[in-house]
Structure 1
Amino acid sequence: MNNEDFRRGRKTGISYFFIGGFMTVIANNLLGVYTLPVRFIIGVCLLAIFISMVVAQDKISPLSFKIIQTISFVILAAVLGMTFANTTMFFCTMALQSVIMLSYLDAKFMNIHRGITSAAMLLLGIPSFFGMKGAAPVSQFLACYLTVMGVQQLCSIVANSINVRDRQNREQERSLDDLLKIVEDKCDEARAATKSKSDFLSNMSHEIRTPLNSVLGMNELILRESNDETILNYACNVDNSGKILLSLINDILDFSKIESGRMEIVSVKYNVSTLIGDIVNMLDRRFDEKGLVLNVNVAPDIPSVLFGDEVRLRQILTNIMTNAVKYTDKGSVTLSVRYERIDENELTLILSVKDTGRGIKEADRDKLFCGFTRVDQVRNRNIEGTGLGLSITSRLVTMMNGTIDVESVYGEGSDFIVRVPQKIISEEPVGEFNAKLTKSTDEIRRSAASAYTAPDARVLVTDDNRSNLLVVEGLLKRTQIQVVSVTSGAECIERLRKQHFDLLLLDHMMPEMDGIETLKRIRSEKLASGVPVVALTANAVSGAREMYEEHGFEDYLAKPISGDSLERLIFKLLPERLVKITEKTAEEKPVQSDSPKESKQETALIDRELALSYCNDDEELFAIVLQSYCEEYENKLADMKKLLAEKNLEKYRIVVHALKSTSLNIGAAKLSEQAKAHEFAARDGELDFVESDFDSLLENYEAVMNEASALLEKLMS
């Protein structure tokens, strides 16, 4: 029996005790003194008080219960005062009620109680109650007890009904609490799943973008420095393929961002001719490769400058035109741009992409804009892609309050029509549009070769990793920018108190004070007012730009940093008065010999080509980075051992994060990957993995260190 049942039984038993006592007095005194109506009225009044006592136990305040109880005892005393002769019978009946109270708590006594009740009913029955005057004491006692039991059962019914109702209410409350707990648990699971998805996308972004950035960065150096037309054509193909791969990654991240509701429409002024021309130039080579004709028809009277989300419009049009090229084997693709006026300040921009390709079956139209879905898979099995492009396009169009429709004849081609409202900035018409806007390889080369110097500009670079600082210094060498390097947020703040800088490059993850906290301190102390600050991060993910902008950064750069992206960003952020534009022409470049270049050595653990790509192919800078890496070995090794022995995973994570970056800078990609695994494990509190894999990490670190020392010795000789 639980505590609740015991408490309820105790209260009910006590109530029955008093009820039995009262009713015994009635049976022994009132029945022979008063007439039947009077006896009945007194009995009903007492019964009402008794039932009130039973009900009141859990329903009224303790003070009210005491008052009712006192009134009952007063009535009891008054009734007892009528006769002293039957007091013995009164106390005998009260003693029997003690057994009744116990019978509520134990099945054995319950059976005794029922037996006595049955015997009384058989011997006397209710009629004996009314003829009890002058009866034997035993018969009188049993008759009294039978009367008590009748009232007792009535009170029990009332009390039980109240208890059942209370129990049902309590069960409903518990059920509601349980339901709320289940809902809360499910919400927690959903939030955990969303976080896992975001973490997965963050890791995937880092894993894929790092080597892809290296490929595109090295390829850009080829476009910048090569004079060989064949090499330039190869480089253009690499550039095109790399950008397509990058667009696939962006599709996956954008889809996730739209799903989570974090995608926003940002409207800006843009030039219609520039938008269309850039897209045509970007895709023209793909048309040539497939032997397709690209036709571009732009309404000459369309306003030249509009206001809308240029980035998303570019993405929408690129997705549709890329699909047209994929699914068209011969013939042409026609891009048409026209408009319909809404009022004097707004128009509906209409973009139509019509192809002579494979077309779409009527049954597949509904699946066309579903995520991760590809139609007619048997026929299109050789077409590459994620099946996300049109899904993203449809959602972006909807977010821009527009519509997208498709008209298609299977086997003959398709026509995708996008309508989006745009505000008018300039009524000046675009005029005649040149449909063929391809860039020659010479133009590509001249664009890539563009350079600048800024000898009067001062840039402060903050990174706790000395090797990263050396890389940035080396990449900016040809710009003649004055670079000052510090290794902590505190040093950065101290420098800013003493000197003026035109730009700050601030690493995100640093011990003691990270980049975000450092920037908060800089702003709170009103240092470097108006100076742009760029975040350096090894974990680029969709939404990173928004996150850094929210914390006050002007922009961010993903590690490993390519020389070209660094130069472009600095060029954009430096004041114009500090920048001097120079143009490298083919004649200014050294003529390459016909003999092949001496192949660069690649060790088993260090990829020299990869390392040089991070150093702008500067052997001298590579040697400096190697030397710094070797000098840090002993201290870093000691820190790792000490922090793991102390089980300080937070600081251990920072140390292996630095090892990840420096190892990648010297081309030790495998060690960098292992260090990254330790970084993530430390972040997630997975001590078992860190401890079990620690010896392997140290062994690989030592092996890389030995090769780095040997390579450095060779470079210095």
Structure 2
Amino acid sequence: MSKSSTIDPWVVRFAKFIIRFGAVKASIFFVILTLIFTFIGTYFLRVLLDGSVKADDFIGATLLSLLSAPWVLWFFSELVKQLEQSRVSLKEAVTQLERLRDSDELLNRTLQNNIKQLNHEIEQRKNAQLEREDMFTDLEREIEDKSEKEKQAIRLSTLLRSIIDASPDLIYYRNPEGQFAGCNKIAEQMTGKTEQELIGLTPHQVFEEELANQVVTSDQYVLEKNETVKEEVWLRFADGKRRYFEMCRVPFYNADNTLLGLLAFGRDITERKQAEEAIAKASKDKTKFIATISHELRTPLNGIVGLSRMLRDTKLTNEQFSWVSTIYASGITLGNIFNDIIDLDRLDRDRLELSLKTVSLRDFSSELGSIIDLIAKDKGLAFDVTVVDPLPALVEVDGTRLRQILWNLLFNAVKFTHKGKVSLDVSAESIDKQNSMVIFKVCDTGVGIPEDDLKKIFAMYYQVNLPEHQSATGTGIGLAICQQMVSLMHGDISVSSVKGKGTCFTVKLPLAISQKPVQVSELKVTGLQILLVEDIELNVMVAKALLEKLGQHVDVAMTGKEAVAKARDKQYDLILLDIQLPDMTGFDVANIMHEESLVEQTSIVALTANVIKTREEYLNNGMDDVIAKPVKKSRIIEVFNNLFCDEPHEPHKPVDEPSNGQFEDILDLDLLQMFVDTIGHEMVRNSVKVFQDNMPEYMEILQLSLSADEKEEVCSQAHKIKGAAGSVGLARVQKLANEIQQGDHPAWWENVHDWVEQLQQAAEKDIQKLVDWLGQQDVDD
């Protein structure tokens, strides 16, 4: 190709020239050129050879040229034509070869691509083969692992089944349709059926109807709300024995979050329940015992304090006055020691509470000091009360509790001091405009407390070992109760002492500065017609003498029946009602008087030595107030002024005017009337009967949960009682249950025991009130 490319230009031009002019013209032209060339060649040749030129030389050369040139030219012309044709053919062949070369190149590229694709596929197949080999290896390993896991699962399943069957707890599970799907041995013992017999049955086919309904309701709640349910139920075993179980039901799902049913676990807590009931009974017995002792001890104590106080107001010699003062102080001392015992019981039941009132610190300190001064003088000790200014004139404080705290400290100071003095210092530090930190310091010059005992001095029942002063030992509960009370008041109590030189107790209490006027110490009402209901002659004598001295008119009834009879015959302004009477309780007397509308314009005040109950309990049982024995003149003045001076009383309603007053705040009369008008008396009465039948069980569960400190269960049960009470119009029961269910109340634990007791009492009384109201509606109809 390279050589052809070198000669191609002139050959091509020559061939094109011959073709353009034609063979004849080209032949003539080349003949002429040949002749010219011959002439010139001959001429120069002859010149070179001979040195002369002849015409014959030209003629011969010309003839020779003319004879040979045409043939030569024709030959070359034909040759050129053939060459041109060969060139064209060659060109076409080259073109064809170029096409074939391009085709070959394309085919070659295609072939190379195919080879590459084939190599790639071969590589992929090799990789796929390797992957298949790896997959088979993994599959073999997975099969081995799965086989091992299945074996392990079988072992675990067997172990789990053994554990479930060996468990003392009741275990069963049911599918979403409510049918049993499995159980353990305890469930078989309880139902009297094997697991295979139990599978596919519903609770209605296994349990008693009432229990089955309860189980189905709880299970439905678990499945719908996706929540765990806990409850306590009595279950009857196949052998007839009843056991108390704590049941827990939970929903369970598979890995795809598909509900499979529910699991039920039950723990036999019969012994625990019996123990709790025994503890509750023991607590009630202890409380009842203390209440009885309270009444029995305070009855003679009331006479001692009352008569000695009255005797001090008569004309006596100095020596007689000293003796009477000692009796009076001793009686008060005994009363305060007994208060410690009462407060100890309240602390055990978390029922110690505060009742804030407006108190003058100066008058309070002076009153307390006058009593301690009598005891101190009896031992030949000096006693000083120092009030450091500035001091708030009036503060809000529970005077009874504060008096008890300081009494314990002062009495101990006198008891452990044989010479020297005892002092009470009262001062204050300002906190802000509304509050002040009041500081009480009780110091003595007594035997002191060893340093090792200072940290233990406030422990319950702890007593300092003082061999040389055995006569001065006490119960060991006073200081512990003081610390509890100070803590209840959000204050602080501390002690410092030097053995043989004396002791100083410091009480710091943050108290609100009061803008209210202090309670009037003078009786503002006289000439009241009072019925005193009391069965102890000594108490009658003391109380009657005190009341008449205060300008009141007093009638006396020694029994409940006599009190009711007198109330029927005469309208009284006030009834002072002892709670423990020989024939009935004061609560029963008050209830009869309310039912007969004998006290619509008459106040009833409980006069009792039982300080176990709270003031609220007396108010909930129809009393307007309560006065604790021994009766104090200051307390009588306070109660009388509150009842007859501070708040006007409603006018007495005519006897023949129909009134629902005895049902107010107890029943939701509007709701009940709507029920009666809508569904009729009989249906309402049936609803009340159902509530009355179920309420004992509700209360039993509530009290058991409270005894177990299960706050959530207490609130849940109270919520149930609230709903049930609301459905039959028991407004007061509903209100008390609502208080119990408010578990987020900051003082819930401090008050819940009281609320539960109030709920128990209200339920018993209010159901009867509801029955009475329904009876009245029947009569009216």
TM class by shorter-chain length? 0.3 to 0.5
Task: Determine which structure has more spread, i.e. the larger CA radius of gyration.
Answer: 2
Q: Provide TM-score, normalisation by structure 1.
A: 0.48
Instruction: Kindly indicate whether structure 1 or structure 2 has the higher relative contact order, using CA contacts under 8 Å at least 6 residues apart.
Output: 1
